[in-house]
Every structure is written in structure tokens, then in C-alpha cells.
Amino acid sequence: MAKLKFGNVEENVVTREEFTLDKAKQILKNETIAMIGYGVQGPGQALNLKDNGFNVIVGQRKDSSSWQKALKDGWVEGKDLFDIETALSKGTIIGFLLSDAGQLTLWPLVEKYLTKGKTLYFSHGFGITFNDQTGIVPPKDVDVILVAPKGSGTSLRRLFKAGKGLNSSYAIYQDASGKALDKVLSMGIGVGSGYLFETNFRNEVLSDLTGERGVLMGALAGIIEAQYQVLRKKGHSPSEAFNETVEELTQSLVPLVGENGMDWMFANTSVTAQRGALDWKEKFRDVTLPLFNELYESVLSGKEAKRVIDACSDKNYRKQLESELTTIRESELWQAGAQVRKLRP
């Protein structure tokens, strides 16, 4: 196991070079991996495992849109695609990849099939960490592990097909067999991780919920809307406002920051951009820091978990969600984006 050092802090990381795919397949050679759920993470993880040579099956509700998607992806009913209960009965490693809200509904059935010696596999620490709200408490005689790719299932699959990998965290909640570490690392390599870094279920969900509501989605969307509105009110055209706010960010700057770091980006821009960015970065940090502290405390307290559970339990949630997404989609900002994307060479 390799070490990453950040001053006095050390982290355990596992690479594909030291924990090879052949080793992972040998460890899991007698396991049947039943991936329950074929929504966000399910397709990418299941297909990567299948292409990597693992014994994997998919469990999904028959005649659902996800069932039809699984068929289109090449899963065969009765061979490696089954209804959920059949897949649960066949699986020795149960990949519980339904949405957090979906896990609450299905947990009583999943628990029924968690017999001694099986492994319960997650890609999110939500259900376990907030089990006072979810009721998800695994039996003591099963292993409980987690591999959380740091990105969408779509990205995981796309990078896998390109011969690359998406970094993932891994964690062990319960090691009943004494072999949970080998299992979780094997699953991490099997689903196509670039490298694996150690965490725990609680830290995974706290960082994940903060990131989603913060820089990765919520804060990013909010800042984009704010800058676009200012430019438009000051007389800039929709195309100019969108290009300066979104297009340059996503098509030019973010990929370069990902490749080389923010310091490189600052060093390789004009002096005008460089000086302005360095000066204004401090102001944005200072303004948003209290908001991020508020956000983290909301996640830590369980308020965000309750909000998710309550909202997704509302029978009208899908209708309300579509209304919210339609408002975003039909806004001038993202209508401008749709037109600009068509012009990309």
C-alpha cells in the first residue's frame, strides 16, 4: 500500500500496479456480484466488472426503464439479468446501488438475503451513516464495504473504455470474514478505479454531500447564474455572457486546471487575468467560507439527509423535480448554452 504525504499527514492509497486486476479476479473468483439497481452508478460499475472478467449479475425491477436499459446494454434475462429478489438470492456480494431514497424502500428485502458470509457493498455512505433515519443496520455476520468513484457512472464507464480510470475512495464498515480489505480493493479495481484512497463511511458521505451542494454542483450553478445575470444586465449579449461564464470554463480552463493545477493556470495566462484572478480569489473565498461552514454543519447534523429522505418520500417529488429542472432548462442562460454547444466544431 502506497503512501501520499501532505506535510505531516499521510494517506493510504492503492494503485492498479500494486493491486493488479489479476489479483482482484483471483480473490473474487468464487463470488457472484449482484448489482442491485441500474440507475446512476449501476450501469458503469456492472459493465466494467463484466468486461474485466468478474462474475457479475444485475438485479432490477422487471419492465422498468432501467430493466430496458440493461437489456440494451447487453445483459440477458435469465443469464445475467434477473428480478431483484432472484439476484439477491444468487449474489454473494450484494451491490446496493439504488438511490439513497430507493435503499430505504428495498432494505427489508435486501436484509432478508444477507445471510452469514455474504458481503454488502455500497458506493455511498448515506444509508449506513444516517441509519437512525434510514434503518439500514446490517447483520453482524456479513462484511460491509464501500467503493465510491469520484464522479458519475457515465464518467466511470467512459474513462474505462478509454483505458483510463476514475479515482475512488474505499472503506470498511464491518469485517466479519477477516477478508474485507481484499474484497473492497478487488471491487475497487474491478469497477475501474484509477487509484483507491482510504476513508470511512462517515467521512465519505460528509464530504460527498458537502461537495455536491458546494463546488461540484450547487455553488457552481449559483455562481454561474450570478455572473451571467450581471453581464446580461450590463448589456452583454447572451452568447457573450455564456461564453465568458460557462464555455471558457468548461472547454478550456477546467481541463487545464485538472491536468496541471491552479498555479500553472495562473502562471500561463495574461498578466491582466493573472493579477485580477489572484486578487479576487481572496474576496470570493472570504465571502463563501461562512456559507461552506454552514453547509458542512447542516450535513453533519443530519439535516441534509432528512431533507433528502423527506423530499424523495413525497409522492409528488418527480413532478416537482421536473418542474425545477424545466425552469433551469428553459432559462435564457441554458438556452444560450444549447445554441453555443451546437456550434462547437
When the pLDDT of each residue in the chain is averaged and rounded to a whole number, the result is 95
How many Å apart are CA 135 and CA 93, to the nearest integer? 21
Cell of 140: 453482524
**Taking the model in full, what pTM does it have?**
0.91
Q: 60 with 37: CB under 8 angstroms?
A: yes
pLDDT computed for residue 163 by the predictor: 93
pLDDT computed for residue 288 by the predictor: 97
pLDDT computed for residue 63 by the predictor: 82
How many Å apart are CA 268 and CA 62, to the nearest integer? 54
pLDDT computed for residue 271 by the predictor: 94
Mean pLDDT across 178-202: 96
How many Å apart are CA 334 and CA 340, to the nearest integer? 10
pLDDT computed for residue 252 by the predictor: 92
> If you count them, how many residues does the chain have?
345
pLDDT computed for residue 240 by the predictor: 96
Cell of 192: 475501474
Mean pLDDT across 49-74: 95
Q: Place 176 in a pLDDT band, splitting at 50, 70 and 90.
A: very high
| For the chain, percent of residues with pLDDT exceeding 90 | 90
Q: Place 334 in a pLDDT band, splitting at 50, 70 and 90.
A: very high
Respond yes or no: is residue 236 known to be catalytic. Answer: no
Tell me which residue of 92, 138, 145, 98 sits closest to 117, measured CA to CA. Answer: 92
Q: Provide the phi-psi class of 334: left if phi over 0, else alpha when psi is between -120 and 50, else beta.
A: alpha
Cell of 36: 442491485
On the question of pLDDT at 40 being above 90, the answer is no
**For 195-211, what is each residue's pLDDT tens digit?**
999 999 999 999 999 99
Mean pLDDT across 45-50: 97
On the question of pLDDT at 332 being above 90, the answer is yes
Q: Place 121 in a pLDDT band, splitting at 50, 70 and 90.
A: very high
Cell of 261: 493545477
**For 253-301, what is each residue's pLDDT tens digit?**
999 999 999 999 999 999 999 999 999 999 999 999 999 999 999 999 9
**Active-site pick, 50, 124, 183, 232:** 124
Q: Which residue has the cell 489479476?
A: 22
Domains of the chain with bracketed CATH = 2-199 (3.40.50.720), 214-342 (no CATH)
pLDDT computed for residue 10 by the predictor: 87
